[in-house]
Amino acid sequence: MVNAPTIHAQAAPAAVATATARRVSIILLLGLLLGLLLSAAGCQDRMRMAPTHLIEQGEHAQAREQVMRHMTHDPSKRQYLLDRMRIGVLAMADGQPRAADVVFGEVFDVLRTLGINEDRTVAAAVFHEGVKFWKGEPFEQALALWYISAQQAMLGRWDNARAAAGNSLFRLHDFGRDPATGQRIDTAAIARRAAEIERARREGREVGPYDDGDDFLNTGYAVVESNFTLGYITHALASYQLGRDREGEDYLAAAAEIDPHIRPLLRELRDGDYNTVLMVGYGMGPRKVAYGPGNALARFDPRTASDGRPLLAAVRDQGGQPIADRRVAVPVVADVNRMAADHRWNNLEDVRLAKNAVGDLLIVGGATAAVIGADHGSDVAVFAGLGAMALGAMAKAGSHADTRFCDVMPQRLYVVPVKIDQPGQTVELQVQGLPGSRLILTGLMPPANGALQLRYVKLNSGRGSPPQWAVSGRIYYSNDITGAVPGPQWPWLLGGNDVRLPTPRAVEDYHRDGMTRDVTYVELENAYRAEGLRLAVEDGTGLPPGRHVLEGGDSLIPPMGGTTGFVRLFGQVHPPYRIQGAELRRLERRLIPPDRSEPPAVHRSR
Amino acid sequence: MRAPRCSTRPATALLLLVSAAIGGCASSATPRSTRLTVDDLEHVSREFAASLLASDVMRDRGPDSPLWVVSIERVLNLSRDVMSPGEQWFVMNHLRASLPVRQMRQEKNIIFVLPAEGARRAHEYAQQHGLETAPLAERRPTHVMSATFRSAVRQDEKGATELYYCEFEIRRIGDRELVWKDDVAFKRIARGHIWD
């Protein structure tokens, strides 16, 4: 008989050492794995913010250039649609609606596509919300669709404006009010309710008609009509332009039902004598931040406070004097802070993915199983435990809410109906009590054939006084929108003050004022192109142009009259142009004799 | 008893499991959008060309009938879709360029003309999609042909069905008498969650 106790006593120290080494190695491995995975929580893609200071000062072309410089061109990347949405909104703020055609076309296409994230839902739910393609919160989607509507309207495409506005009025999910407080329920309360249902289910208790938390999120709401007043108004305007008056009245009536305080404005839109509608944005929309356990929930914090201040508008004559009976004060029609804070306008994906409690439980359970498995020499138990822990740790890492958002939206929007019946009339705009927002809108012409014209105007929201260009009320350069300014006409690129595109009409003016007649508009256009200038939206890659040549860029494409971009560009004097290329330099030498330092027309005018 | 050696194979399997879960699986066959496609626009224009050729007003005409110069307007879009100007002109120009309609010039003494702006936009759209275009004729119009696209959608959590209704008509310039009218309807179905 083997002296078992002796043998066992001799074997015990080695077995204990082995088990201890095994446990230590497993724990080290667990620690390393947990550290790596949890550190991933801090390594999610960070969103590069658009330059807020530029946007607040009305430098939308510069802001757009910066966003375009860092945009992704890979449609599979989460940032793809967000980049295009931002570029489109900034193009609109700069008075370049045609330039936004391509990017907004993509945005509309994606927003109309169903189930984009359906194939990624499993991975996103378990691991990382960043796996999903960004489509924006519902309020961001509605605003994007509204921008597309405004863009189409600015281009006179009222049928498309109607379609896009209609798309912005999708139905919402309403989880109602908190029975305890009577206040509209917020996303945090929805998350708590879902978690309570989950716990009750685990504990075998009945809690209402829901199977689990997901069931509550998927069915515990009522479907309600949109309360996006601005969408109803824009749809109504488009309906009127298409001769569908009764449809227009229906949409204005819907807006009146939602926001009774704007009924005077709606009556003006229905009955008033106007031929121009200004859609005016002010401020910076709210910022998306993570909060709560493990930063799993998201909310939108205001960057520009909601204050309900009206917008003052006054039409001025060619002399700059206010025209009697053409002053209005209009209320806020869309408050983006309020929309973002309303659970009906959130997609609740952060709620669905708020797994910190579940993640914690998995981590604890996983570690326990791994250690027990190691103690009992069971590889299966070890790796099952490791697997569970990996899942739990990764779930914890992935439960951080994605805080990407469309950071170029305004905080509020106004609708201003005015009448422009003479060239040279301007419109003075200011948010009441905010002198930094003051803007004198130039470049508006009376619309042809009794049609309605629409303009999107983004006011400056910086502190202090407005920049001088915003309130000069002047147009310093001949341009393709308002035509020639008084005085001799000569290309600005060659020392004059004319930034019109090289058309036969423009070149005829140059000939009249001293340009040799053997220079044709074709030759001038070729010289401009050789200089690297962009002369049409269709030139290039489908992206909007960058800065205008007046601001040091390479575009000669003018903004639409009656926009912030037009005012900024033509309402101030810019430094003279420095010729870059040989062809334009040769043309300059041909046109300006060496014994003169100025072009003939400018010389003559002095 | 010797301590068992830890195998690397379960760890590899775990990594593969993780990778597969992250990668997910793609489904490529399910339609995801109810937007109009190039095929839809071609289908509509073909349908209307055939309908026009078979209509009573065409049956009564011959090569010696009074010349009709039919000016084409772009599609009026009353659907939920945003149609580019190129798409709106393409439908009409594709109809105009179809063989049955081209044959009307010889057999029925009818020509269809586009306004200059429409011809340019239709040409650009056709080039982008590798499609053929027809040359522009220049005559004083006697009639005008117009088209209207409408749509109605039914949506639920799992998908959407959109019914498109397209209406064409030809009216005489002056008294606006209706000489021909027809319509075609078709559905587009999309599957997927509206709320991703």
Question: Nearest CA of chain B to the CA of A483: how many Å?
Answer: 23
Amino acid A359: pLDDT: 38
Amino acid A602: pLDDT: 58
* Residue linked to tokens 């709401």: A221
3-class SS at A442? coil
Tell me which residue in A113, A218, A379 faces B10 most closely, judged by beta carbons: A379
List the single best residue of A112, A158, A241 to mutate versus B (max B Cβ within 10 A): A112
Question: Nearest CA of chain A to the CA of B60: how many Å?
Answer: 35
Size of interface A-B (CB pairs under 8 A): 108
A163–B80: do the CB atoms touch at under 8 Å?
A: yes
B3 touches chain A (CB under 8 A): yes
> Is residue B162 over pLDDT 80?
yes
* Residue linked to tokens 């759209």: B125
Tell me which residue in A18, A114, A160 faces B82 most closely, judged by beta carbons: A160
Question: Nearest CA of chain B to the CA of A324: how many Å?
Answer: 39
Total Cβ atoms within 10 A of residue A333: 25
Question: Nearest CA of chain B to the CA of A108: how many Å?
Answer: 8
Q: What is the distance between the terminal CA atoms of chain A, rounded to a whole angstrom?
A: 126
DSSP character string of A128-182: -GGGSPP---HHHHHHHHHHHHHHHHHTT-HHHHHHHHHHTT--EEE--B-TTT-
Amino acid A232: pLDDT: 98
**Helices B85-97 & B116-128 angle (0-180, nearest 10):** 90
Fold (CATH) for A52-175+221-354+401-413: 1.25.40
Q: Which residues of B touch A218 (CB under 8 A)?
A: 157
Q: What is the distance between the terminal CA atoms of chain B, rounded to a whole angstrom?
A: 56
Q: For chain A, what is the mean pLDDT?
A: 84
Amino acid B3: pLDDT: 36
B22–A173: do the CB atoms touch at under 8 Å?
A: no
List the single best residue of B28, B166, B196 to mutate versus A (max A Cβ within 10 A): B196
B22 touches chain A (CB under 8 A): yes
Amino acid B23: pLDDT: 40
* Residue linked to tokens 């290309």: A491
Amino acid A169: pLDDT: 97
Question: In what order do the strands lie in the sheet containing A334-335?
Answer: A334-335, A412-418, A276-282, A453-458
Angle made by CA atoms A262, A263, A266, in degrees to the nearest 5: 95
Check if the interface score ipTM surpasses 0.85. Answer: no
Residues paired with A299 in a beta bridge: A289
Provide the b/e sequence for B123-145 (b: ≥16 CB within 10 Å): bbbbeeeebebbebeeeebbbbb
Amino acid A217: pLDDT: 85
Distances (CA, A) of A105 to A81, A542, B183: 11, 11, 28
Task: Provide the token pair at A155.
Answer: 């281009």
Total Cβ atoms within 10 A of residue A428: 18
Q: Which residues of A touch B27 (CB under 8 A)?
A: 118-119
| Pick from B9-23, B28-42, B68-82: least confident | B9-23
**Helices A521-530 & A582-591 angle (0-180, nearest 10):** 140
Sign, Cα dihedral of A577, A580, A584, A585: positive
What span, in angstroms and rounded, lies between the C-alpha atoms of B107 and A283?
64
Tell me which residue in B25, B76, B84 faces A119 most closely, judged by beta carbons: B25
Question: Nearest CA of chain B to the CA of A123: how many Å?
Answer: 5
| Summary count for chain B: helices (H), strands (E) | 6, 6
Residue B93's pLDDT band, with cuts at 50, 70 and 90, is confident
Indicate the helix (H) or strand (E) that contains A515.
Answer: none
Domain B32-191 has CATH 3.90.550: no
CB of A398 within 8 A of CB of A126? yes
What span, in angstroms and rounded, lies between the C-alpha atoms of A523 and A528?
9
Task: Provide the token pair at A344.
Answer: 């009906």
Sign, Cα dihedral of A344, A347, A350, A355: positive
| Pick from A269-273, A356-360, B113-117, B137-141: least confident | A356-360
Task: Provide the token pair at A225.
Answer: 């009509």
Residues paired with A360 in a beta bridge: none
Amino acid A31: pLDDT: 56
Task: Provide the token pair at B68.
Answer: 């009709």
B190–A114: do the CB atoms touch at under 8 Å?
A: yes
CB-count burial class (<10 Å; 0-12, 13-18, 19+) for A189: middle
Instruction: Name the pairing type of β-strands A412-418 and A334-335.
Output: antiparallel
> Is residue B139 over pLDDT 70?
no
Tell me which residue in B18, B23, B160 faces A114 most closely, judged by beta carbons: B160
Q: Which residues of B touch A15 (CB under 8 A)?
A: 1
What span, in angstroms and rounded, lies between the C-alpha atoms of A243 and B91?
23
**Closest chain B residue to A380, measured at CA:** B10
What span, in angstroms and rounded, lies between the C-alpha atoms of A328 and A323?
11
Which residue, A414, A425, A423, A483, is CA-closest to A455?
Answer: A414
Question: Nearest CA of chain A to the CA of B187: how many Å?
Answer: 16
**B28-A543-A97-A468 Cα dihedral, nearest 10 degrees:** 140
**A370-A374-A379-A385 Cα dihedral, nearest 10 degrees:** 0
B79 touches chain A (CB under 8 A): yes
CB of A101 within 8 A of CB of A422? no
B33–A166: do the CB atoms touch at under 8 Å?
A: no
The segments of chain A whose pLDDT lies below 70 read 1-46, 116-132, 355-399, 593-606
Residue B194's pLDDT band, with cuts at 50, 70 and 90, is low
* Residue linked to tokens 């040989």: A582
Up-side HSE of residue A192: CA atoms within 13 Å toward CB? Answer: 7
> Is residue B120 over pLDDT 90?
no
Which residue, B159, B152, B174, B88, is CA-closest to B126?
Answer: B88
3-class SS at B109? coil
B120 touches chain A (CB under 8 A): no
Tell me which residue in A101, A160, A347 faces B77 most closely, judged by beta carbons: A160
The radius of gyration of chain A's CA atoms, rounded to the nearest angstrom, is: 31
What span, in angstroms and rounded, lies between the C-alpha atoms of A559 and A573?
17
The total number of residues shown for chain A amounts to 606
What span, in angstroms and rounded, lies between the C-alpha atoms of B118 and A159?
16
DSSP A491: B
Question: Nearest CA of chain A to the CA of B180: how many Å?
Answer: 23
Tell me which residue in B26, B159, B195 faces A119 most closely, judged by beta carbons: B26
pLDDT tens column, A30-56: 555 555 545 444 444 567 888 999 999
B196–A347: do the CB atoms touch at under 8 Å?
A: yes
**Closest chain A residue to B27, measured at CA:** A119
CB of A458 within 8 A of CB of A437? no
Which residue, A522, A523, A557, is CA-closest to A540?
Answer: A557
3-class SS at A245? helix
